Amino acid sequence: MSPDQHQEVIERLEAVIRETQETLARFEATGMETELPEDYDKLLEILDSAIKAQREHTLAMLLEAGPRG
């Protein structure tokens, strides 16, 4: 995967992370995490997965770029 492709994936994952955090905040603000705990847990899993994938793509992009200077 090229650095540009990694960057595109990183940016898309950032959008997923941001949207999921916003949804989690709405859940918490309305008390839905106690009424729909399975859905809340799924949102947490999505967030965790997106963060891990973003970290992997960032690391891969940095490793492919190699040392500079």
The secondary structure of residue 36, as a DSSP letter, is S
pLDDT tens-digit readout, 21-59? 999 999 999 999 999 999 999 999 999 999 999 999 999
Question: Which two tokens mark 9?
Answer: 């994936």
Q: Alpha carbon 14 to chain centroid distance?
A: 6
How far apart, in whole angstroms, are the C-alpha atoms of residue 52 and residue 40?
19
Please give the average per-residue pLDDT across 4-8, as a whole number. Answer: 92
Quick one: pLDDT band at residue 68, thresholds 50, 70, 90?
low
Question: The whole model's pTM is what?
Answer: 0.87
